[in-house]
Structure formats: structure tokens, C-alpha cells
Amino acid sequence: MKEEAIIMGMPVVIEVVDPEVINSDLHAVLNYFRDVDEQFSTYKETSEISQINDGKLSPGEYSLEMKKILSLCEHTKKETNGYFDIEHKGKIDPSGLVKGYAIWKGAQMLLKNGYKNFYIEIAGDIQTMGLNADHEPWRVGIENPFDRTQIIKVVKLSGEGIATSGTYIRGNHIYNPLTGEVSHEVASVTVIAKNVYEADRFATAAFVMGRGALEFIEKKRELSALLVTQNKTTIKTSNFTQFELT
């Protein structure tokens, strides 16, 4: 069973291939994503994050979920030597972490309901679980950032998360907090990790790091990465090959 929706202006796809699927279980996850959007969308005036940015809420009034996300952001900032930073021009935008976090939580909702074989995708960031309809690992194509008719690599995933961070669509939403500049050296970074939360936050940070990302991720054994540079070459960490299908 497959459900698709546009939430946060982004397409959400949930596919469960377990034989007995209850449609409302999938809708519960979609509704959870809608709630996350209501709370964390910087594009919605009424969202909690917008109210914080407008100075209408004091830290004591933050919801538990907000406190949790902000502390995870702080933690990630330390882990990435300051490259992951949600503060920009006096405003905060935790969306570089929220998406992966929400997908992971959504996956846990499905796991709790007994599903074993599924994936959840929000705009190119994916959590896989179990196997696909052909009883094989999920086959995930990685898009060529220069030509989206092409897939530059196919990886097989079963339980891992994958996230890609790149420049081209939302323009300035990823910038280097250390220099204030938008990163240009790297066209896209794809990170595979034990779950999409890890993949998403490190893909965001790694993209900002530029070429230095490879060294950073190489040191983190639990992460694998594929970089596409602006001069159209690909670089991967040594442990990336284990996922490559071809």
C-alpha cells in the first residue's frame, strides 16, 4: 500500500509492502507530519518556530518537542564542529534536522504497529525498513544534481536511512555558518546512516563543509557518503561500496 501527500510543500511517500496493511496506520503518519509542519514551518506565521523567531515566546514557554529538537540541534552543532548551525541572522531554522527526525519518528510509528517492510520518503530523504515487494533490499537511486534525468548510483538499503543535501532548489537555505557564505564547492552530498535522522543532519552539515566533509565522514565509521563536486566528479567514503548495487 502506498500513500502520497504534499506536506510542507514537499512530497511525502509512504509505502508498506507487508501483506496486511491498515490504511489508517499510514494516514496516522501523514497526520503526524502535518503536525510537525504546523509546529516547525518557518513559512507559517502561526507555527511555534515563527512565534519564537518573532519574540512572542520565551524559552520557558517552548513545547517539549521544541525543546527536544533545539537540544538535538545544539548537540549536532557540537558534533559537527559548528558546521551544523540553525541560527542565521538572528532567526533559528531547525528544518535541517526536523525532516530526518520526523521521518524516523514516522518509521517508529509503523514499526510499533507491527510493519516490517516499508519506506518513508520526504523530498528525497528516506528511511528504509526490511525488503521491497520483490523480497529484496530497497533499491534507491541517487540523483545527478546536474541532470536530474540521470541517476548516478543505485544503492541497496534495508533498514538504513539516506539523505541528500544540495544547492539547487531552495537556493540559500544552506549556508556556511563559519563564513556566512553559501557552499558552492560541492553540488550534493548523499549520506547513508543507520537511520534517516543521522543521515539528514550529517548530510546538511557535510554539504556546508564542502570537500572537508569526506574526511569528517570517513572518521565517522557509522556514516557513508557520496559527494558530487561542482566539477562533476564523484567522491565516496571507503565504506560506501558496501551499499552499491552496481
Partner 1 sequence: MDILKKYFQVSVFLAFFGLLIVVKNYIGHADEEESVAIGKPNLQTPTTQTPSAAVTPVANTTAPTSTPNNSIYKDGTFTGSVEDAYYGNIQVQAVIQNGKIADVLFLQYPNDNRTSIRINSQSNQYLKEEAIAAQSANVNIISGASDSSFAFRKSMATALQRAHK
With CB under 8 A as the contact rule, the residue among 190, 195, 224, 237 that binds partner 1 is 190
Identify the three-state secondary structure at position 245. Answer: coil
Residue among 122, 131, 119 nearest 158 (CA): 131
User: Does 176 help bind partner 1 (rule: CB under 8 A)?
Assistant: no
Q: Which residue has the cell 524516523?
A: 104
If the CB atoms of residues 68 and 116 are measured against partner 1, the closer one turns out to be 116
Residue among 128, 95, 127, 102 nearest 29 (CA): 102
**Binding range to partner 1, per CB under 8 A, among 21-29, 56-64, 102-110, 143-151:** 143-151
Q: Which residues contact 124 (CB under 8 A, 6 or more apart)?
A: 143, 163, 164
Q: How far apart are CB 60 and partner 1 at their closest, in Å?
A: 31
User: Does 228 help bind partner 1 (rule: CB under 8 A)?
Assistant: yes
Provide the grid cell at 64.
517539549
User: Does 201 help bind partner 1 (rule: CB under 8 A)?
Assistant: no
User: Does 84 help bind partner 1 (rule: CB under 8 A)?
Assistant: no
User: Does 243 help bind partner 1 (rule: CB under 8 A)?
Assistant: no
User: Does 125 help bind partner 1 (rule: CB under 8 A)?
Assistant: yes
Neighbours of 210 (CB within 10 A): 18
Kindly give the residue spans of alpha helices, DSSP state H, lying in 59-159. 64-79, 95-112
How many H-runs (helices) and E-runs (strands) does the chain carry?
6, 12
| CA gap 214, 104 in Å, rounded | 24
With CB under 8 A as the contact rule, the residue among 24, 58, 179, 231 that binds partner 1 is 231
If the CB atoms of residues 72 and 152 are measured against partner 1, the closer one turns out to be 152
Residue among 152, 216, 228, 219 nearest 187 (CA): 228
User: Does 13 help bind partner 1 (rule: CB under 8 A)?
Assistant: yes
Q: How far apart are CB 55 and partner 1 at their closest, in Å?
A: 24
**Binding range to partner 1, per CB under 8 A, among 63-71, 104-112, 167-175, 215-223:** 167-175
Residues that bind partner 1 in the complex, under the rule CB under 8 A = 2, 4, 6, 8-11, 13, 15, 43, 119, 121, 123-126, 128, 132-134, 138-154, 162-172, 188, 190, 228, 231-234, 245-246
